[in-house]
Structure 1
Amino acid sequence: MEESLLKILFQQGPFAALFVWLLLSTKKEAREREQKLMEHIDKET
């Protein structure tokens, strides 16, 4: 039981870490893009 659980963890772990990293980096970029857009809108008004 423990061996199969560890095997699954080692197989899926890198993909889970990559998914979390991509999710967080995309969220950060979206926040920065939104901030630039809001600054531009403030300048125009």
Structure 2
Amino acid sequence: MSLFLVGFGLWLSLDVPIMIALLFGALISATDPVAVVALFKE
């Protein structure tokens, strides 16, 4: 779900190609939980 929110938000606001925006959304949504877990471990 966050992939589509980030991807479509980027696509609409910055006028980047939809595939690039969705790829960036997939990258961000995959690394976000990992960063939060690492932060709580410290």
With normalisation by structure 2, the TM-score equals 0.51
Q: After the TM superposition, list the runs of 4 or more consecutive aligned residues in structure 1 that deviate by more than 2 angstroms.
A: none
- Greater share of residues in helix: 1
Cα-Cα RMSD = 0.9
Please say which structure displays the higher CA radius of gyration.
Answer: 1
Structure 2's unaligned 5+ residue stretches are 1-16
Q: Which has the higher contact order (CA 8 A, sep 6+)?
A: 2
The size of the alignment, in residue pairs, is: 26
With normalisation by structure 1, the TM-score equals 0.49
Structure 1's unaligned 5+ residue stretches are 1-14, 41-45
